[in-house]
Amino acid sequence: MGGSAQHWRGEPGPGARTQWQKSLRRPGCYRLRAAGQGAGPEPSPSPPPRAFLYQIKIECYFTNAPGGSGICTGTSTTGGGRALRQRPGGVYVADTELGRPAPRGWNKDPAILAQMRGEADRFCRHNYEGVGCPVLERCRPKVKVSPMKSESQPHSHLLVCSVTGFYPSGIEIKWLKNGQEQTAGVVSTELLQNGDWTFQILVMLEMSPRRGDVYTCQVEHISLRGPLTVHWEAQSDSARSKMLTGVGGFVLGLIFLAPGLLIYLKNKKGERLRVGARH
């Protein structure tokens, strides 16, 4: 949902004209001020006898309709207890008793209605085209499973299921062990909102892995046609140590191979230079 506001402070004097000034604080905000007519410099502003705030807020309601259509409504309020709002059809209605006289004239003036519809359409369409996926589309979650040591119990492990980048926020995440849902030892973080309107969450399972056990993080979301699953299979201590030994041997081989490769390349470069000098 987006909104823009227009503000007018003070009371214009006789023969005053109005000017629109774009605010640098955020897009879509304008400040309306009164300025005296004439070629000379503007007189120093004097404190008005009565200050009030006139505000127009534009709200954008987006739908999943084909073509990405947005429903825009404009709401106008004043500090004197008057409150008006514009229905999707473009007609103004009063929310307070003091605001009842204004809609009678506004609804009969095509220029006012056209101006407000144009401003709402421009602002809402700009925001719709800029925000992309999260507003109207469904963003698929990205799922990753990572093991880590448990600090509470030395012989236990944690499996962390990281689910990120999904929209809307409604999501269901389960841990399965060999196809059976696990409820004990499951801890979840709060739903976190990213800066691009998508969400992320972590769901952890505390377990004692045994060889052959298969753990599954299962995610259900409205953007998916079916459950999304990521598997993790427990390894035996011997298999894990063999894997670590193989990785260590590969790294040591690279360490011993690198100096020899550098010496070989330097010798080849020296031979090319000597051959060039003879010619």
- What are the pLDDT digits (tens) for 3-45? 444 333 333 333 333 333 332 233 333 333 333 333 444 455 5
Helices (H), the chain: 101-106, 110-131, 133-136, 237-278
Closest listed residue to residue 147, CA positions, set 244, 213, 234: 234
Does one domain contain both 32 and 120? yes
Does one domain contain both 126 and 90? yes
Q: 65 lies in a domain?
A: yes
CA distance 23 to 229: 49
CA distance 275 to 279: 7
**pLDDT surpasses 90 at 160:** yes
Does one domain contain both 94 and 33? yes
**pLDDT surpasses 80 at 108:** yes
Q: Specify the pLDDT at position 24.
A: 29
| Residues of the domain holding 216 | 142-233
Does one domain contain both 99 and 149? no
Does one domain contain both 158 and 81? no
pLDDT (mean) for 187-212: 90
**Span between the terminal Cα atoms of the chain, in Å:** 76
Give the three-class secondary structure for 273.
Answer: helix
Cα 189 off chain centre by: 19
**pLDDT surpasses 90 at 199:** yes
Among residues 66, 101, 135, the one where a domain terminates is 135
Does one domain contain both 130 and 19? yes
Q: Which residues contact 233 (CB under 8 A, 6 or more apart)?
A: 212, 213, 214, 215
CA distance 117 to 58: 10
**Cβ atoms of 234 and 209 closer than 8 Å:** yes
Q: 70 lies in a domain?
A: yes
Q: 258 lies in a domain?
A: no
**Cβ atoms of 163 and 150 closer than 8 Å:** no
The letter for the amino acid at 248 is G
Domain count of the chain? 2
Q: Which one is predicted more confidently, 247 or 61?
A: 61
CA distance 155 to 64: 50
Question: Phi and psi dihedrals of 155, rounded to 5?
Answer: -95, 5
Q: Specify the pLDDT at position 214.
A: 94
- Tell me the β-bridge partners of 227: none
Here the CATH number for the domain that contains residue 198 is 2.60.40.10
Does one domain contain both 71 and 173? no
Q: 269 lies in a domain?
A: no
Does one domain contain both 91 and 24? yes
Among residues 135, 157, 173, the one where a domain terminates is 135
Cα 147 off chain centre by: 28
**pLDDT surpasses 70 at 93:** yes
Complete DSSP assignment for 123-169:
HHHHHHHHH-HHHHS-BPPEEEEEEEE-SS-TT-EEEEEEEEEEBSS
Q: Which one is predicted more confidently, 264 or 100?
A: 100
Mean pLDDT in the chain?
68
Does one domain contain both 113 and 175? no
The whole-model pTM stands at: 0.45
Q: 100 lies in a domain?
A: yes
Does one domain contain both 121 and 152? no
Positions of E strands within 10-141: 17-22, 30-35, 53-62, 70-78, 83-86, 92-94
Q: Specify the pLDDT at position 4.
A: 41
Does one domain contain both 32 and 106? yes
Does one domain contain both 91 and 12? yes
**Is residue 6 within a helix (H) or strand (E), and if so which, with residue range?**
strand 3-9
Residue 111 has which token pair? 């220029």
**pLDDT tens for each residue of 210-258:** 888 999 999 999 999 999 999 999 875 544 444 445 545 555 655 656 6
Give the three-class secondary structure for 70.
Answer: strand
